[in-house]
Amino acid sequence: MQPSQTAQHAAPIAHAPEKHPAVHEPQPSPVATAVEKMIVWVGSITSLVLHSLAFIVFFAVAALHWVGWDTMFLVLTTVVSLEAIYLSIFIQFSVNRQAASLKEVEEDVESIQEDVEELGESVEDIQVDMEELGEHVESIKEEIEEISEDESEEAAEERRKQMQAETLEALTRDVKALLAQIESLKRH
């Protein structure tokens, strides 16, 4: 039996490009690594505690009259403003990095969707092939039935005689076995 025309012309499934184990992602720059570490540190409990301690120190210095309130507020406002500028830059850096990562994931999802669509088409092709095979099986069954019906009475009679001969031979063997058992029982 030969494959159907659909199976012969089915397109091969394209897979997402695999990354070779020897090929590494480009390493982030030292600045990017430092910014990543800074982002992680700013979001930590240690950062919260240190910032709280710094504010307490600023207010304690002014309360102890080591520095005037105006000077303390001027320095504190400047430091907090600079820190806010840098934090917004760090946050934007993190957002950009996440956007690039999401773009890669989006491309992977699109590739997977294409593969799923191709698999769906292949499944449809296989279903068509299965239907064709079912039709072939049905036609073979019909041919077998026709051959069985066309068998001549002569062949049927010959089979009947052969079955009778085999049955007679089996009965003869059974009778001989019974006679042998009877003889053996007589001797005991």
Rg (CA), the chain: 45
The pTM of the full predicted model, rounded to 2 decimals, is 0.45
pLDDT score at 2? 47
Residue 44 is given by DSSP the state: S
Q: Per the domain annotation, does 140 fall within a domain? A: no
Burial of 124 per CB tally in 10 Å (0-12, 13-18, 19+)? exposed
Instruction: Determine the Cα–Cα distance for residues 60 and 52; give it in Å rounded to an integer.
Output: 12
Residues 36 and 112 in one domain: yes
Provide the number of structural domains found in the chain.
2
pLDDT score at 10? 44
User: Among the three residues 116, 133, 167, which one is the final residue of a domain in this structure?
Assistant: 116
User: Among the three residues 116, 145, 172, which one is the final residue of a domain in this structure?
Assistant: 116
Q: Per the domain annotation, does 8 fall within a domain? A: no
Q: Per the domain annotation, does 132 fall within a domain? A: no
pLDDT score at 150? 65
Residue position matching structure tokens 């400047």: 78
Report the Cα 145 to chain-centroid distance in Å: 46
pLDDT score at 26? 67
Residues 109 and 168 in one domain: no
User: Among the three residues 58, 91, 116, which one is the final residue of a domain in this structure?
Assistant: 116
Structural domain range at position 162: 158-188
Tell me if 10 sits within 8 A of 129, measured CB to CB. Answer: no
Residues 55 and 110 in one domain: yes
Q: Per the domain annotation, does 125 fall within a domain? A: no
Q: Per the domain annotation, does 142 fall within a domain? A: no
**Backbone phi and psi for residue 28, each to the nearest 5 degrees, phi listed first:** -65, 155
pLDDT score at 20? 46
Angle between helix 69-150 and 30-42 (nearest 10)? 100
Q: What is the pLDDT along the chain (188 residues), one digit of tens a residue?
A: 444 444 444 444 444 445 544 445 667 788 888 888 888 888 899 999 999 999 999 999 999 999 999 999 999 999 999 999 998 988 888 888 888 888 899 999 999 999 998 888 888 888 888 888 888 888 888 877 777 666 666 677 788 888 888 888 888 888 888 888 887 777 76
Q: Per the domain annotation, does 173 fall within a domain? A: yes
Q: Per the domain annotation, does 98 fall within a domain? A: yes
